Amino acid sequence: MILRGLKTMQTALIMAALLLPSLLSRSVFAQQTDVRQYDIYNGFTYFETPDLNLAERGYNLQVGRNMKTWYALGFDYSVVNGHNSLTTSVLKTSLQQELNAEIEYLESIGELPPNYQLLVPTDAFSQTFALGPQLEYRHFKKVTLFVRPSIGAIRQRVTPHPTDAFSTAVVEELVPSGTKLDWQGFYGFGGGFDWYATHHFGLRMQSDLVYWHLFNDLLQNGDWTVRFSVGPTFRFGKNIAAPLH
């Protein structure tokens, strides 16, 4: 499970690694002397949860304050939506056994076709909220590298869309309201880089890998989700970097 998430994150990091040398080649290898106190980032974000076959796209906002030249504190918010199709394999063992036994019985009496598979298309709407530190490396004049823990909360609403009578009956039993909402914490790690076009404007590329266990009354396991995000960042406020002598 984690290996699939790491593979997706690795792909995102490879993309960043291919871009980073060209940006560094334009940078003077010298300590930054202009570090603004605040920055605001907003851009496109992509979530992938491989074990649920779920891909979500949306918006990412980050607001940060540089406490020192080497670390910052900030708030992170993402909102995304996407679609997948769920099978019994992701459900808790007791539910899997119950549903598989029922499917087998209905197949035996001709109420379901042979080799029937329960497959329920589902819409997902997710929001994440995080707050915490970020460590920054400013050896390059126009590029800042950063790493951070990713700790926060995720809110997700799912809406199943059954396509046949049996899946409709299952959804009505498990999700009687037609939608299901859950809040859970998540943890993981992330990193990326900022490239500065000017003192106040730049481009950020970043990726995070986090673990969560939403809907633990229905789902057997927690899941690893990769987030990739890219977009502009704006810096303002006083310069907190000490002048070089």
Looking at residue 171, what is its pLDDT?
Answer: 97
End-to-end CA distance of the chain: 51
**pLDDT over 90 at 2, yes or no:** no
DSSP letters for 34-83: --EEEEEEEEEEEEEEGGGTEEEEEEEEEEEEESSSSEEEEEEEEEEEEE
The predicted pLDDT at position 4 comes to 53
Tell me how far apart the alpha carbons of residues 153 and 77 are, in angstroms, rounded to a whole number: 10
CA proximity to 127, closest of 148, 150, 152: 152
CB 91 within 8 A of CB 218: yes
* Better pLDDT: 15 or 75: 75
CA 38 vs CA 31, 135, 148, 240: distances in Å: 19, 15, 17, 10
**pLDDT tens string 162-178:** 999 999 999 999 999 99
Distance of alpha carbon 197 from the chain centroid: 27
In this prediction, residue 243 carries a pLDDT of 63
User: Quick check: 6 pLDDT over 80?
Assistant: no
Q: What is the mean pLDDT of the chain?
A: 90
Separation CA 91–CA 69 (nearest Å):
47
- How far is 181 from 183, CA to CA, in rounded Å? 7
**12, pLDDT greater than 50:** no
**Lowest-pLDDT choice from 9-18, 136-145, 214-223, 231-240:** 9-18
Residue 241 has what pLDDT? 87
Q: Which tens digit of pLDDT belongs to each residue from 110-128?
A: 999 999 999 999 999 999 9
Q: Which domains does the chain have, with CATH numbers?
A: 2-27+36-235 (2.40.160.20)
Torsion sign, CA atoms 48, 53, 55, 60: negative
pLDDT at position 217 is: 95
Residue type, 219: L
Distance CA 209, CA 48 (A): 10
* 205, two tokens: 């590329």
Per-residue confidence (pLDDT) for residue 144, from 0 to 100: 97
7 pLDDT band, cuts 50/70/90, is low
| Buried b or exposed e, range 2-33, using 16+ CB within 10 angstroms | eeebeebbeebbeebeeebeebbeeeeeeebe
By 3-state DSSP, what share of the chain in percent is helix, strand and coil, each rounded to 5?
20, 50, 25
Helical (H) or strand (E) element with 233: strand 223-239
Q: Tell me, what's the pLDDT at 242?
A: 66
| 16-59 tens-digit pLDDT | 455 555 544 554 456 788 999 999 999 999 999 999 999 999 99
